[in-house]
Structure 1
Amino acid sequence: MIAHSRIFIGLAILFLAAVSSAPARAGGGPENLFLVVNSNSPDSLAVANAFVALRGVPPINVLMLPWTAGTESATIAAFRTDLLTPILRAIDGRKLLPHIDAIVYSSDFPWRIDFAAELPKEIAGNDKFPSGSLTGMTMLYAAVQQSTPGYLDPASNRYWRPLNQDGVPTVTNGFRGWYGWGPQGELMESGGSRYLLSVMLGVTAGRGNTVPEVVASLVSAAAADGTHPKGTIYFMTNSDVRTTTRSSAFPAAVAELKLLGVASEVVVGTLPVGKRDVAGLMTGAADFDWAKSGSTIVPGAICENLTSYGAIFTPTVSQTPLSEFLRAGAAGSSGTVIEPFAIGSKFPHASIQVHYARGASLAEAFYQSVRSPYQLLVVGDPLCQPWAKVPVVEVVVASDSSNLEPDQQLSGLVELEPRAHVPGGGTVDRFELFVDGMRLEQCGLGEHFSLDTLLMSDGYHELRVVAIESSPIETQGRWIMPVFFSNRSRSLTLKVEPTRVKSSGTIRVSVLGKGLENVAVFSMGRVLGRTVGTDATIEVPAELLGRGSVTIRATGRSGSGAANSVNAQPVTIEVTDAAR
């Protein structure tokens, strides 16, 4: 155990040092999250497949972890050794440190982390509920590696935005993993406390949701981006301590939302009744029945209920779980994984809806409004941002202002000129160039990217140019284009049959190459098989892929290095339920 702890501490220190020296800003999009998938769980694979397809998560940003130790709880030692350490090591090994801001879990990971065994004696006797959440403890990864449990600090999250004299946050900040945060919440580009936002896409065990329910919520959330919903955010008040713990902050939030042009109101009761425009909700009750309320949740909404067991998914436990909101169409919700008592700092403040309405993403809105998140499980689409002003991006060839076309052949040195505008006003601060999920360059307005295709493998690649607007929220917009680099005589084609298969079936993957020695076939960051020679077929059980839309890729090599490699054009197939 001591050896494992030393390995983890060393890795965490390395991680902090690397992000603290990051030379450029990035964040807020699929390129900036690291998706962790339980490769032993069909449900986890299915949820991840849907999220990757909806959000365009690059394959290099996906980690398959074979978790088998249960989906309810894990010790903090197992959390460090079997989850956090492999995750941080993978981010580091793939050279993604400078631009990863969030760790996102698919389903079927333990939602509770038990740390009783590591509490100092002077604390152990006073903490009757020594557990944290998967997302809260991941967000506080730097504190988790300390010899003292700093994650218990009631103000452990300095990304929480301070309130002004009117009771509203003075500023909403976009989050970057390399930003530091000072004791008063001040943003520091060197020093300070560092975090990684963390969210679960869904819980599919116990009192959680079904896979179709999670996927439906993710589809709705993705479609809500930048739509500026016309609904109303409801703040419910009643005499229950679950409501009174934070209801004093409701009037100030309503006043600020009004200034933002977002409808909101304080209503007496537990749920809004007969309302067809629920764009957000904050309430507090042990139990509720959403279906009986007759209300409808608008796509993209954050719906919040303060209660003790909102994120306890054990079937025998009472109190309505957060999954009820996702089932009804919310983009995200949260709850505590063990008795938290009525301590306001452990739950989202009413300002969560203000941050969201100002344009923050769902993950940013949650963590800017929770001072002590160690027991809070955040579930939903971390990237959802209904009120964001999303930059519209265009990229042209600098020499003649011509547009790149899908599957266009590129060779040698290519100068690309990014352009963008922000609908509804605003300016773009900078652009970033990604190739296959790796950030290569950044430039300012009026500047060019120099893309040297000779340094990369031939064949298929995905170009992304991300525009980052200049407000403190740093909302992103992106341009994505599939292209082919053609500098050498190597080639590789990929064929997958059938393109629609039951999860109990098998796919045949055929490759045909020129000038190559071997080929690796992979999907979602996991190698499915390798061939010796370049005219070969392998068979892959569809259950390894998970249900849903799955993209198969192949890379051939004739030696080491990118110059001796070529990528085939990917093939996307559909894996259906075995019962269909």
Structure 2
Amino acid sequence: MTSIRRLFLTLLLLATAAGARAQFTSAPSLQPAQLAIVINDAEPNSVKIGEYYRKRRGIPAANVVHVSIPDKPHGIGIGRFRELKEEIDSRLGPDVQAVLMIWTAPYMVDCNSITGAYTLGFDGSQCAKTCASGRSSPYFNSRSTRPFTDLQLRLSMLLPTESVADAKALIDRGASAGFRIVPATAYYLVTSEKARNSRAGFFPPPGRIEARKLSTRTIQGDVLEGARDVMIYETGMAQVDKLDTLHFVPGALADHLTSLGGDLLGDGQMSSLRWLEAGATASYGSVSEPCNYWQKFPNPTVLLKHYVQGNSAIEAYWKSVAWPTQGLFIGEPLAAPYRKRPR
């Protein structure tokens, strides 16, 4: 581990420890009135799931935007993307801090993810060499609770629509997270795929956060099998086995560091959709070859810190990625198992 990385990790851990001593005074998480949902009227599943989500989460009618994207293309061109973004943004008020796109595809804009392009703006320079370093996100490890107000960034996420039943189950998991704190574990795997272990130096040390009933474990191995208390699962593998043996608690986050996890409908490496199908509530993956910069993937310590302090899934995930241009955020954005509870 380099001295810079070690210093960065130490500072983050000190901040996390300070939060533990203070019983993790929770940050306010994103509220339904601050979230807009975008429904694709050209896809019947998007319409059905969008209406279910609106009612389940109490999204204001004014925060619902309807667009039309026929034929479910995996990617869209820059011109169409700019039209789409303008169409969405023109319907949103200043209090909207985040956007949920209710569809599986499109998920790419050239080499950018659609969430990276929407939130940070399309970055054509990344496409000249996708393995080059990325553009820094001003929201990385931020303390902001209002990213659009503070930084003029609206966070974004996709809620996949391949199955109406699966999408409703995902929404229900997110909505049920946070009613009570349940004993759970954050699992971090150091695998035999050495190139995909680039963020292992940022794995939190094994231990327990008593105020959150959350344990942290680092495992040397390629697979987690039979665990029944998964809140976080982060690994580095092109394919992750034994997901059918796991139980993810409501609000669970899970992702794998590999090149094309965000190519949701591709037929190469494991799609990030598999995490949601296995029971996770949110995930992340890159849509174009990023190489193994840790900055292009969720930083485990940053993700843990913000999630246990009460941020929602979309906030914690976005805060954990330093260079998110190629990274796709998927799942139920409002899940917040450690959110501040009314007294």
- Equivalences for 1:172-211 in 2 at 5 Å? 172-180=143-151, 194-204=152-162, 210-211=163-164
**Equivalent of 1:65 in 64, 67, 73:** 67
Letter in 1 for 2:88: I
Tell me the residue number matched to 2:280: 330
Deviation string 1:106-160 (CA, Å, 9 cap, x unpaired) is: 014410101xxxxxxxxxxxxxxxx10011111113xx4x997799873421111
Instruction: Give, in whole Å, the separation in 1 of the partners of 2:89 and 2:249.
Output: 36
Tell me the residue number matched to 1:376: 327
1:309–1:319: 8 Å Cα contact kept in structure 2? yes
* Cα displacement (A) at 1:257: 4.6
Show structure 2 runs of 5+ residues with no match: 1-27
Q: Who wins on radius of gyration, i.e. which is larger?
A: 1
2:204–2:216: 8 Å Cα contact kept in structure 1? no
Classify 1:173/1:258 alpha carbon distance in 2 versus 1 (closer, same or farther; 3 Å): farther
Aligned residues: 312
Give the alignment's Cα RMSD to 1 decimal.
2.5
Structure holding more helix per residue = 2
Does residue 237 of structure 2 align to residue 285 of structure 1?
A: yes
Deviation string 1:510-555 (CA, Å, 9 cap, x unpaired) is: xxxxxxxxxxxxxxxxxxxxxxxxxxxxxxxxxxxxxxxxxxxxxx
**Equivalent of 1:110 in 102, 106, 129:** 106
Does residue 139 of structure 2 align to residue 159 of structure 1?
A: yes
Q: TM-score by structure 2 length? A: 0.84
Letter in 1 for 2:221: G
Structure holding more strand per residue = 1
Tell me the residue number matched to 1:410: none
- Equivalences for 1:530-549 in 2 at 5 Å? none
Tell me the residue number matched to 1:318: 268
Q: Secondary structure at the match of 1:178?
A: helix
* Cα displacement (A) at 1:285: 0.5
Q: Secondary structure at the match of 1:282?
A: strand
Instruction: Give, in whole Å, the separation in 2 of the partners of 1:70 and 1:300.
Output: 28
* Cα displacement (A) at 1:258: 6.3
- Equivalences for 1:11-22 in 2 at 5 Å? none
Instruction: Give, in whole Å, the separation in 1 of the partners of 2:208 and 2:306.
Output: 10
Tell me the residue number matched to 1:267: 219
Deviation string 1:173-212 (CA, Å, 9 cap, x unpaired) is: 42331103xxxxxxxxxxxxx31100011152xxxxx221
* Cα displacement (A) at 1:221: 1.3
Larger RCO, structure (CA 8 Å, separation 6 or more): 2
Classify 1:256/1:340 alpha carbon distance in 2 versus 1 (closer, same or farther; 3 Å): farther
**Equivalent of 1:77 in 76, 79, 104:** 79
Q: Using the aligned pairs only, state the percent identity.
A: 27
Letter in 2 for 1:179: D
Structure 1 residue runs of 4 or more that deviate by more than 6 Å after TM superposition: 146-153
Q: Secondary structure at the match of 1:212?
A: helix
Q: Secondary structure at the match of 1:382?
A: coil
1:133–1:377: 8 Å Cα contact kept in structure 2? yes
Tell me the residue number matched to 2:49: 47
1:310–1:322: 8 Å Cα contact kept in structure 2? yes
Does residue 185 of structure 2 align to residue 228 of structure 1?
A: no
Instruction: Give, in whole Å, the separation in 2 of the partners of 1:202 and 1:261.
Output: 30
Q: Secondary structure at the match of 2:317?
A: helix
2:29–2:340: 8 Å Cα contact kept in structure 1? no
Letter in 2 for 1:374: T
